[in-house]
Structure 1
């Protein structure tokens, strides 16, 4: 047995595109815990390999009543969900808080590529992980050193196959789940067509991007780097005031045009999974013309993030995990919206207008402590896109839940420390009881 903690009755809601949650449940069952499941779509059914699952097939408006009824007739004292800002999961978190039920939120790892996240209550700007450097150093002193290098290598093929599987089984069982509210913005046909087009042009784009990168670095051009995110990313949809990346690019470019050195360029680097390239290029072109900086605003579709960071004057992002690469490279970093690494001493704490001239390099000692504290409390090793890695992540996640060590030691601040800054910057959380944690 892993621990002598009292047995839990755990409800699993929607997980990532794999049997990850089912594997976590398997490990928990061996430790004497009881597991439950609610399915929202056909793929949820297929990914769950245990008895006792129930289907939610009603309209989304009925979800809160359905869940409340389910909880009334069970003894659930913990809920596990992936992506705490999905519609169903926001409602579930609200109901859980009202009933004093623990919520465990999973996500892809803050540390990439072979980590997964497991936190109490919520992630990102609603995370309870501390922002106080002193607290971070204290945690780091209590947890093991981080093993360098990638252990579990994922594959694009595995990711694509999980996506196709999701679409196939949801289509197959559509009549059983006629009201399912998918958290994706685009149709799968649009995404897959974009991915296919991207794969066909991948080598050509990579060659062009590398050539431009080498020119930038070789000629010692002065530039600031911006890591773009995907339009449908919950970091943009839920944790920023922007309607999309076009709005975010314009906001950053306006500040750059006003306040950055006139001999500097603003280089926008696309997300590796971007599939709206034509739309993005048109948006950047329109913004550059409107702000009268066509020679200073440039889109690069590829390139090496680490090299581009190292040679840049500074790195700007809305709230992308790519900021960790910039911090590791020792690059002055500005997170427009609060993210997990938005910590005094790591990221610039002033305004974006002031960053261009006043950005300072991150404290390397603090960054090492931050990574160690993060890995030791709310990260587990593994990946969804590797069979062994998925099993390892599930095993470690189950152990944290079973032993009651999620966010331990000391990485839980009762009021999410990033929430005030997010709200001050224009983010609204409709189910505002995020401030209250169980």
Structure 2
């Protein structure tokens, strides 16, 4: 069992859920916690929350300025000793974290997409991603034992996520009058998402036609040697909260500029679009403009659809802000540099001397150190399963 989850059920009795992911995930976790002897409470912030967790819950409908007092009163009235959220950067969750930090009898726990994707869920105490308490001290991992990791594949959750999202935003809209003061961390228009999901589907189908040629080019080393730069979703908290530039356009500019000046003239840069961002952003014009400006138009290639394992097996290095692709690259033994805050940005695993020097000086990770780190990460914070899979079963017994 995940060490943090084990700690939660053995030390906390009265547990409060705030906002979860779209879908029934929090409801299922709550059911498991009740069977483990915990008392579970839930505060809903919008109609989508209420739809997926309607029983044994209360609604907060006032302005966010009144949420701190509401939450403190609720914690006191129900003797809450633990708060559980999905993602720690939403405005309501930041307020909850602030209250937990000032109360020694109240703990704060966070679910998030798995670090070891795509078939794991992350669960940590106090924060995730850039706020994770996972040690970044190289020496800490020297005495960590290496354990086997379940690498069996689960089912894809992409279409379940889409279905849950549609339902969530429909009920957010239907209950908008009730939760008129609610502040969401993303756009809430269903038509906005529907139009972009259709565009994403079209682009996915288009990439299916182009993908075989790109895969053939990669396999045949036509772009060899190459570095891979996987893009991230521009509005993701990984970019907005855990990186200094807060914009993927800024990172694209920085990476292309550095590549043109400091990488070997025979090398290529493959910039891979994020699959979840297909219908929302397209950086083709920007990349072409920058590549032309810096004289590397024939060496910078913008790709969609090609799976990461195929690319990682052929790449000579990976540049990322703080994507979980960095972990995948470390698994493949590639030199990696993280430009933002990343829990795996540790001396001996990632390059520590700046992007400009990375192109020629990047080194492969210390294999033993990485295996120790991954074993610790796996046992401490990962749960086998998918947040969005329709027949989800919390596999933590």
Q: Which residue of 1 aligns with 2:152?
A: 149
Q: 1:128 aligns with which of 133, 137, 150?
A: 133
Contact 1:310/1:330 (<8 A) preserved: no
Structure 2 unaligned segments of length 5 or more: list them. Answer: 1-5
TM superposition shift of 1:370: 2.0
TM superposition shift of 1:11: 0.8
Q: Deviations over 1:228-253 (max 9, x none)?
A: 01111110011112232111111111
Q: 2:26 aligns with which of 21, 25, 28?
A: 21
TM superposition shift of 1:94: 0.4
Contact 2:43/2:60 (<8 A) preserved: yes
Q: Deviations over 1:66-85 (max 9, x none)?
A: 21222232211110011001
TM superposition shift of 1:137: 4.5
The TM-score with structure 2 as length reference comes to 0.92
Q: Which residue of 2 aligns with 1:402?
A: none
Q: Which residue of 1 aligns with 2:212?
A: 210
The TM-score with structure 1 as length reference comes to 0.83
Q: 2:278 aligns with which of 257, 275, 279?
A: 275
SS at match of 1:176: coil
For 1:44 and 1:127, the matched residues in 2 are separated by 26
Q: How does 1:334-345 map to 2 (within 5 A)?
A: 334-345=337-348
- State whether structure 2 residue 117 is matched by structure 1 residue 74: no
TM superposition shift of 1:42: 0.6
Which structure's relative contact order is higher, taking Cα pairs within 8 Å and 6+ residues apart? Answer: 1
Q: 1:113 aligns with which of 110, 118, 122?
A: 118
SS at match of 1:200: helix
TM superposition shift of 1:57: 0.8
For 2:217 and 2:148, the matched residues in 1 are separated by 38
Q: How does 1:30-179 map to 2 (within 5 A)?
A: 30-48=35-53, 50-51=55-56, 53-100=57-104, 101-141=106-146, 144-150=147-153, 152-179=154-181
Q: Which residue of 1 aligns with 2:307?
A: 304
Contact 1:154/1:384 (<8 A) preserved: no
For 1:278 and 1:168, the matched residues in 2 are separated by 24
Q: How many residues are treated as equivalent by the alignment?
A: 389
Structure 1 unaligned segments of length 5 or more: list them. Answer: 400-438
Q: 2:323 aligns with which of 317, 320, 332?
A: 320
Contact 1:7/1:32 (<8 A) preserved: no
Q: Deviations over 1:302-337 (max 9, x none)?
A: 212122122222110111111122111111111111
Residues 237 and 54 of structure 1: CA distance in aligned 2, closer, same or farther (over 3 Å): same
Residues 298 and 353 of structure 1: CA distance in aligned 2, closer, same or farther (over 3 Å): same
Cα RMSD of the aligned pairs, angstroms, is: 2.1
Contact 1:318/1:336 (<8 A) preserved: yes
Deviates more, 1:76-85 or 1:203-212: 203-212
